[in-house]
């Protein structure tokens, strides 16, 4: 709890203590903890003078925020139509098998979180997998281990 409060104070010190800073503060805390602890949300609400219900709403509205701990590495598989047709289900199965988790879960060692999204807007590069913000296109299910190890496989798109 003390580390959470220390980090909240550190992040808040970089911003004016106004409601307009809410999203930026939450982004910085998400980066620090890989999720938004409840005590951090409460402290931010109090310090910015924003009702907790509003802070909670923002934290649950945006997909970039998580209220549950995420792994150090975030792996996202696009399951949109183009990616689905070009093999996203097989890629997802391979990642689930390799990591020993299902989509929406985090490995026990807190290294990886596996997520799916409906569309990443990179249909020309389908199927697309994003690892720690790096887009990888035309991914093959047989190459997912290379992605997890940080080896570049497939065509790269711009980072998000």
So what's the pLDDT on residue 158? 47
Q: Where are the domains of the chain?
A: 2-61, 73-156
For every residue of 72-102, DSSP letters joined together read: SEEEEEE-SHHHHHTTHHHHHHHHHHHHT--
pLDDT at 143 over 70: yes
pLDDT at 15 over 90: no
So what's the pLDDT on residue 17? 80
So what's the pLDDT on residue 153? 47
The percentage of residues in the chain with a pLDDT greater than 90, rounded to a whole number, is 74
Q: What are the beta bridge partners of residue 58?
A: none
Contact status, residue 41 vs residue 23, Cβ threshold 8 Å: no
125 CB-near residues (< 8 Å, 6+ apart): 135, 137, 138, 154, 155, 157
Q: What are the beta bridge partners of residue 106?
A: 113
pLDDT at 154 over 80: no
Looking at per-residue confidence, does 156 or 31 come out higher?
A: 31
Average pLDDT value over all residues in the chain:
90
So what's the pLDDT on residue 151? 64
Residue whose C-alpha is closest to residue 106's, from 74, 129, 143? 74
Classify 73-156 by CATH class.
Answer: alpha beta
Tell me the C-alpha distance between 53 and 146, whole Å: 42
Tell me the C-alpha distance between 13 and 58, whole Å: 21
In the numeric block, which tokens belong to residue 109? 């060692």
So what's the pLDDT on residue 159? 46
Tell me the C-alpha distance between 33 and 71, whole Å: 10
So what's the pLDDT on residue 160? 44
48-58 pLDDT, tens digit each? 999 999 999 99
Contact status, residue 63 vs residue 70, Cβ threshold 8 Å: no
Residues 142-154, mean pLDDT to the nearest whole number = 76
57-111 pLDDT, tens digit each? 999 998 889 999 999 999 999 999 999 999 999 999 999 999 999 999 999 999 9
């Amino acid at each position: 709890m003390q580390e959470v409060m220390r980090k909240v104070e550190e992040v808040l010190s970089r911003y004016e203590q106004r409601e307009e800073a809410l999203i930026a503060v939450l982004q910085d805390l998400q980066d620090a903890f890989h999720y938004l602890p409840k005590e951090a949300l409460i402290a931010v609400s109090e310090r910015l003078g924003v009702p907790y219900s509003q802070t909670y709403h923002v934290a649950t509205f945006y997909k970039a925020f998580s209220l549950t701990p995420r792994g150090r590495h975030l792996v996202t598989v696009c399951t949109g139509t183009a990616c689905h047709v070009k093999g996203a289900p097989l890629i997802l199965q391979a990642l689930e098998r390799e990591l020993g988790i299902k989509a929406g879960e985090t490995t026990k060692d807190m290294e990886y979180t596996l997520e799916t999204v409906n569309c990443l807007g990179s249909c020309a590069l389908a199927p697309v997998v994003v690892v720690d913000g790096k887009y990888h296109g035309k991914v093959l299910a047989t190459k997912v281990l290379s992605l997890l190890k940080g080896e570049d496989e497939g065509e790269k798109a711009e980072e998000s």
